[in-house]
Amino acid sequence: MSTTQPNAFNRVLLVLSLLVLLILVAAWLVHRNETRTTVEKLSDAVEVVPSVVSSAADDLAGSSSVANAGEALSKAGDAASSAVSKAGDKAEAAMSETSEDLKAAIAKQKAQDKADAQKKQNEKR
């Protein structure tokens, strides 16, 4: 049982090593004809960044989709506010009706209790 576990580990280690080797060979093949140094590549990338950022900012600022999204969010906020307000009004009306119903039920119960008390008092006499 102890001999099968190291074999499995060795197989996994071998497969991972082969994958890493394959990735390194592929990277070398892709970049073998590149004559620029890493410093040159980095300096080219750094030089391009400001123009790309400025272009992206201009695209974003002038984008009608951003303006449309802002308007849509504003309208959604207004609609949500209106819905919450209407729900609050309806809840208040329902509470008011329930409160009136409870008051009427309490008054009816008090009247019934009073009538029962007088009835018992009359029976005692």
Instruction: Print pLDDT tens along the chain (125 aa).
Output: 455 567 888 999 999 999 999 999 998 888 777 777 777 877 877 787 777 777 777 776 666 666 677 777 778 777 777 777 777 777 777 777 777 888 888 889 999 998 988 888 888 77
- Tell me what pLDDT residue 63 has: 60
- Tell me what pLDDT residue 62 has: 62
**Residue 32 within a domain:** yes
Tokens at 79, concatenated = 């609609």
Contact (Cβ atoms closer than 8 angstroms) between residue 97 and residue 90 = no
Please tell me the total count of domains within the chain: 2
**Residue 21 within a domain:** yes
- Tell me what pLDDT residue 1 has: 46
**Residue 30 within a domain:** yes
**Residue 80 within a domain:** no
Please list, residue by residue across 64-87, b when 16 or more beta carbons sit within 10 angstroms of its beta carbon and e when fewer do: eeeeeeeeeeeeeeeeeeeeeeee
Q: Is the dihedral angle over the CA atoms 56, 57, 62, 65 positive or is it negative?
A: positive
Last residue of a domain, one of 17, 37, 52: 52
* Domain coverage including residue 2: 1-52
